[in-house]
Structure 1
Amino acid sequence: MRLFKAILLLMLVASIIPTVMVGWLSVSHTRELLVRDAQELAQEHVKQLRLKLGELLSEPTQPVLALANTAFFSRTEVEQRALLASVLIQRREVLAITVFSPQKERLPGLQAFAVNDIPPTAVAEHEARALSLIEGLTDVRYSEVAHQGPQGLPVLTMAFPLGDPVKGYIAVDFSLTAIQKLIQKERLGSSGFFYVADQHGHVVAGGTALNGETNVSHRGPVAHLLQQIAQSQSPDIEHFHVGNFGTGKEAVVAAYTHMPGVNWGIVSEQPVVQAYRQVEAMEQRILLGLGAAILVACVLAATFSRNLTRPLKNFTAQAMELANGQFGAEVHIRQKNELGELAQTFNYMSKQLMAYDMENRRLYESLEQGYLETIVALANSIDSKDAYTRGHSQRVGDVAVEIGKELNLPERQLKTLQYGGILHDIGKIGIVESILCKQSRLTDAEMAIMREHPAIGDSIIAPVTFLAGVRSCVRSHHERWDGTGYPDKLKGEEIPMLARIVACADTFDACTSTRPYQKAMPLEQAMQILDKLTGAQLDPQVVAALRAVLQKKGVRLEGHRQPVKLAS
């Protein structure tokens, strides 16, 4: 029952999951609300700014448009000039006024400027803008923003017809300096800013945050606005939009609105991080509360599960001992509950496994000894055909194992090397004795038959499952590092490592043993031969390992002329 209660308490602690789910839903819902509030605030700022800009534009245009109600062309020329001068005096934003005839010709004497010294180029530019506006003019029309003077002050030209039918046209230049100051003064939070762009994406008025940009058509909100205007059937339709633009560090929350008359776009931009700061603060508070709840739950879980986890850790440690072959390991638990009964069962199982393991080890050692004796018998059957090679297979196996140890091969591969060295020439059983025991040099045809013994040996041991790892030693011990060996013409590291080791041990024993065609060489001369074969027939790494073995064994490389066996 104690274990049941502990598990029950842990299940109760699992209530943390619905708590987290509720917190996540709260964060998601609240985040949506705060994001919507931030976006609506940005949109509201843009709408308010549009009203302010509308007022700034209407103030200088009202006295100009009032000229249409003064029966302008029915007055004397002196009165007409006085009316034009009064407009310039009333509104400092008005820079120039020009009156044109119905034939779109400037009327002499009916042109006035706010300053006396006007360069001819400025007059020409004013008249050019006016003429382009009055072409086909039936109502009030605005030009694109121009920049005038050495300081590049923004100027807007407005034109409208007088009389019905049309008796003439009036064109007026307005300074946009007041609009520029208003835009620079407006702020949205600590890092938001506003700017005004025309229908081509050129800046009409902008803050310092634009870093001197004059073309903002590439910016996300402006590009979106221009696309909406292009897709609209009516260019005078009002457009409102708010949302996120850009990605990464460049992401901004932007809102824009369209002023149809002048065809301007009013845009606000604010970095996402600053715009959604309240969202992040809310998330941090909720996450902090969730963290506190999780911490309390974890403390409770640790307290109630302590009596359960400690015995389980003991079980785990002893189970790992069993998995690693350490049979007989026992679990010591004093609790008189289900865990105590489980511990007794585990200890009984461990003792039984230890008894079975000891019996299996004896059987395995007996089997392995039988295998080894069989392998040695097979090797001796080959060596017995030629007195000169007696003991050769056993020596090759011993040398191969020593080289493998030097190369830090695992125990299993060392045992494979032992078997591979003993059986490397097992295929010679299939070679006729007339060729196998021939005392003179073999002919090419006889050599071709002799070279079949690796493949024959491979086919002999292929059906023996436990010798599967030995097959590469038998088949590939005559492959050469340069790829000219046999039977498969393997090259370099394509040759299995164990086969390269057996090949080196085979060559070494051949050099240090007496054969029909040579006498046993001194170790120094044998190593010189192996050095010459390094990189062509033998693996340089394996030859270096053999040399290290000889040095560690303290074998002097001078004065030895007997076959060498490297005993462990």
Structure 2
Amino acid sequence: MRLFKAILLLMLVVSIVPTLMVGWLSVSHTRELLVRDAQELAQERVKQLRLKAEDFLGEPAETVLGLARVPGFFQLSKEAQQTHLASVLTQRREVVALTVFGPDRQRLPGLQAFSKHDVPPTALAGHEERARALLEGIDGLRYSDAVQEADGGELVVTLAFPVGEPAQGYIAADLSLGSLRQMLEQERVGSTGFVYLTDRHGHLVVGGVAGLGVDVSARSPVAHLLRQLERNPDTELFHVGNFGEGRDAVVAAYTVLPEAGWAIVSEQPVAHAYLQVGTMERRILLGLGGAILVAAVLAALFSRNLTRPLKGFTQGALELARGKFGVEVDVPQKNELGELAQTFNYMSKQLLAYDMENRGLYESLEKGYLETIVALANSIDSKDAYTRGHSQRVGDVAVQIGRELNLTERELRQLQYGGILHDIGKIGIVESILCKQSRLTDQEMAIMREHPAIGDAIIGPVSFLGAVRACVRHHHERWDGTGYPDRLKGEDIPLLARIVACADTFDACTSTRPYQKAMPLEKAMEILDNLSGAQLDPQVVTALRAVLAKQGVRLEGHRLPVKLAS
């Protein structure tokens, strides 16, 4: 049904009615864009003003805070402390007063400095009063509300902060807001807009609407700001939008200076902020005539773009059927085909994720199996110091032989398990026989020869080791049929068991045992050649010789110190 609507739309595109609809949509969309642009402009304006205001407050505040970083400030002599205070006043002209208080929040005699020589008593008293008010419950940098000094003096704000942890004392400073006031008063928002700075109570600090302290909380943007602060006092607020109604409607943006708790507000009447909207609407209407001519071309392109993606879907489906998960179809259209492509790509990615997850789970499970198998083999080898590591080595050599015989990865894995577990049945042999240092008696040998059957019984209930049972049960069968426990002969012996038998014999020859020392590789291979066709499969012995040759071992002369790769 939706495809039918798309084809119907294609027919309507060549007519005048849809073109007019597109024009109307374009006008609506352009209006939204221009409104958004105007709001973004207001947003960017307050962002820049906030950065400037933070610099106006932050740079002198950072200079004053530098006193807290003076090593042992309160242990310095009074002359040295006065020198530091004077240095701050010299570095930053915005700092107009400095006072140092002791840990009891009482002013320290002689540790007060002003940028002016003649400070009226009222200004001095006001500075100390604001500083003491800030020291109540202070645990970091705090700012007071902005005040106008008596007799038309400077617009200042007081900051205070503790020094040391716990506090060894406190420092308070008055910062002049003259430069900040000048900057905001010079800021223009179009021909009729303005910006201003309010404190946390909705009272004007500086700006273009009135004087200091005037209550502007009733202005729509400020009222909205105060409501937001009441709900989320610790949130860093930022907002832009239309406020008010009728003639009082404005496009405004505000943001909060977090440390001082002040807000910068930008206002501009809606009629002036959106002046370009009407202009652009007229231009778009003039372009509708040309859009009618373009409609016919769009119809042809639409038809082409409708059928082209189908080839991509077909090819992608075939790739998925072949197991190539993760393949994607590139359909940039924003229609039903585009949605279908997104769904197809999502499905393909999900299949890839599931495949990778399953592979990881399988590998993790297989690793756990192998670790368990190695632990079982180690429990056998630990009973006899001379055979420690024997099972692991047999598994490694068996895998090398199997790789030389071009066995599959599954068969190589079974060889690894079979080599490690081939002597698992020795768990059931008493240690007096298993660890005996001298030659076994016939009766003891008969008991020892029971270990393949015991091992087969042990791993029999473990389903995933079913293919490994042949290695455990038949690794002592002989090529000539005289082995045990089943006296199998020749190729009746499973291939994996024949490989493990060869690897077992090879490791027995090249390892030190109670009854023999480790043999050189030449001697070991000479013994295996003699056993070939009698005890061992000739083809397997030949494969072992090829493995040694690939490892760089020359059996005709001396052998190199090369270890078989695992």
Q: Which bin holds the TM-score, normalised by the shorter protein? A: 0.3 to 0.5
TM-score normalized with structure 2 length: 0.47
Taking structure 1 as the reference length, the TM-score comes to: 0.47
Which is greater in Rg? 1
